[in-house]
Amino acid sequence: MLAQILSPVQIYLEQTREIFQKTCGIRAGNLNRLARLKFEPADLTLRPALVILSGGMFGPVTPKIIKLAAMFQFVYIASSLHGEISEDQGRVFAEGNGNHFPILAGDYFYSKSFLILYETGLLEHLRTLSETIGELNTASILKLRNPGDRRAQEEYVKKDTASLFAWGCRIGAQAGGAGEQQTRRLYRYGFHLGMAAGLDKENIYPEKAAQHFEAAKRQLASLPPGTAREALAQLAGYLQNGRRDEAVG
């Protein structure tokens, strides 16, 4: 289902994967194997797809948009790797024991994200990216220290999926030449979609998740009609139906 929804931008997603695979090839080993072991194909595809669809709604998908799509994939991988480190594991690392690889791999992908902003001439977003990562890390710590606390989980969702979905849609739209109002609409779409998907993944507040899904769909109404808008609407429906784990072709 997801592969069918994203078929209009499949060629661009392939270009994003090429950047990812090239980035994974380092002297110490191939990080692509780590990503394949830890992440569902749908999760690795969704983030770059949001950037590509948001940018492609207003014109051709440029190399800059492709690089930005890869950047959001890198940020997702890095934040996920860091988020898997529990508080107890953190103490082990601080004492000089344990496997440091997830942390080092996460730092590597974060550094590549910063490099893409430099290469695409979008350094004005560097502060936003840095602040977003800092807020996400803080929310992640609070979630780890308060297991089962729904407020901590909701705040984590807001700083994780909601914030990154929103920013990905916004920066993609800006790179594609969208106007200010259109960019705001896509930002809100990404935020509501991220809140809904994140709450659903955390298995909390199903009523709020449903409201956010509907709010995301409403943001699309005044955007340019066409393939990109239709795909974004179908993505909301796909996530709402709980089919996140379906493999992508």
Q: What per-residue confidence (pLDDT) applies to 172?
A: 95
Domains and CATH numbers, the chain: 2-240 (1.10.600.10)
Q: What per-residue confidence (pLDDT) applies to 53?
A: 98
Q: What per-residue confidence (pLDDT) applies to 137?
A: 84
pLDDT in tens, the chain (249 residues): 899 999 999 999 999 999 988 887 765 556 666 555 567 778 889 999 999 999 999 999 999 999 999 999 998 888 888 766 544 444 444 444 445 677 788 888 888 888 888 888 878 888 888 888 889 888 988 898 898 999 999 999 999 999 999 999 999 999 999 999 999 999 999 999 999 999 999 999 999 999 999 999 999 999 999 999 999 999 999 999 865 444 443
DSSP letters spanning the chain: -HHHHTGGGHHHHHHHHHHHHHHHEETTEEHHHHHHHHS-HHHHHHHHHHHHHHHHTSS---HHHHHHHHHHHHHHHHHHHHHT--HHHHHHHHTT-S--HHHHHHHHHHHHHHHHHHHTT-GGGHHHHHHHHHHHHHHHHHHHHSTT-HHHHHHHHIIIIIHHHHHHHHHHHHHHT--HHHHHHHHHHHHHHHHHHHHHHHT--HHHHHHHHHHHHHHTTTSPPSHHHHHHHHHHHHHHTT-TTPPP-
Q: What per-residue confidence (pLDDT) applies to 4?
A: 94
